[in-house]
Amino acid sequence: METAPPNLRDVFSPPRPVILEIGSGMGETTLSMATGAPDTGIVAVDVHTPGIGALLAGAERESLGNIRVCIGDAVELMDRLDPGSLAGIRAYFPDPWPKVRHHKRRLVQPAFVHRAAVLLAPGGTLHLATDIAHYADQMLEVCAAEPMLDVGQGLVDRPQWRPITGYERRGVAAGRMSKDLIATRC
Ligand SMILES: C[S@@+](CC[C@H](N)C(=O)[O-])C[C@H]1O[C@@H](n2cnc3c(N)ncnc32)[C@H](O)[C@@H]1O
């Protein structure tokens, strides 16, 4: 984390557009999306060490050279990065914190969304997904209030090109429905 350069393009050779994936969990989605976009660099950040280990093992097994990982708090990492330096940021199924008294712990808050918008290059996207209806509404409300973002179609069903994540699969089994939000940096 401390050694991450302010422009994450510089951790790839040759440099390439970078997507920051926040909360990569066990990394299945990261691996799948990295395989489909070899010219894009994926930097996955998570506080969960076993998940990061599984992701690194998968990247080695599949000989993927376009994945880097950070262990630690995504917000701290984002504070170190250069404005306009990311092609995309995604946070699939950030911790839901379902109890009302814990909502303030949710990742997607105005300050986070503003920082994400500042880090995106024009045309870059902030892609969020959740299977908690109240959190989906919160994501839409906060992103729509950020002047640097255009929320496009708002909350939508999972686009076919986004793989179902490990966490999402458990939600589907429990009868929950996912929503995606793709906001574009103006
Ligand atoms: C509910 S899981 C979803 C994992 C994965 N995206 C998926 O859909 O299967 C949320 C993940 O976010 C990570 N996380 C929570 N807060 C974080 C933070 N501040 N910085 C980085 N990762 C965080 C957790 O460790 C966990 O792996």
Q: pLDDT tens digits, the chain, 186 residues: what are they?
A: 667 889 999 999 999 999 999 999 999 999 999 999 999 999 999 999 999 999 999 999 999 999 999 999 999 999 999 999 999 999 999 999 999 999 999 999 999 999 999 999 999 999 999 999 999 999 999 999 999 999 999 999 999 999 999 999 999 999 999 999 999 999
Catalytic residue (one of 46, 79, 95, 131) = 95
- Measured by CA distance, the residue closest to atom 5 of ligand 1 is 25
Give the distance (Å) from ligand 1 centre to CA of residue 28: 13
Q: Catalytic site residue 157?
A: no
C-alpha 29 to ligand 1 mean position (Å): 12
Give the pLDDT score at 4. Answer: 84
Q: What pLDDT is stored for residue 2 in this prediction?
A: 67
How far apart are the CA of 148 and the centre of ligand 1, in A? 25
The 3-class secondary structure across the chain, one letter per residue, is CCCCCCCHHHHCCCCCCEEEEECCCCCHHHHHHHHHCCCCEEEEEECCHHHHHHHHHHHHHCCCCCEEEEECCHHHHHHHCCCCCEEEEEEECCCCCCCHHHHHHCCCCHHHHHHHHHHEEEEEEEEEEECCHHHHHHHHHHHHCCCCEECCCCEECCCCCCCCCHHHHHHHHCCCCCEEEEEEEC
Q: What is the pTM of this model?
A: 0.98
Point out the ligand 1 atom lying closest to the alpha carbon of residue 23.
12
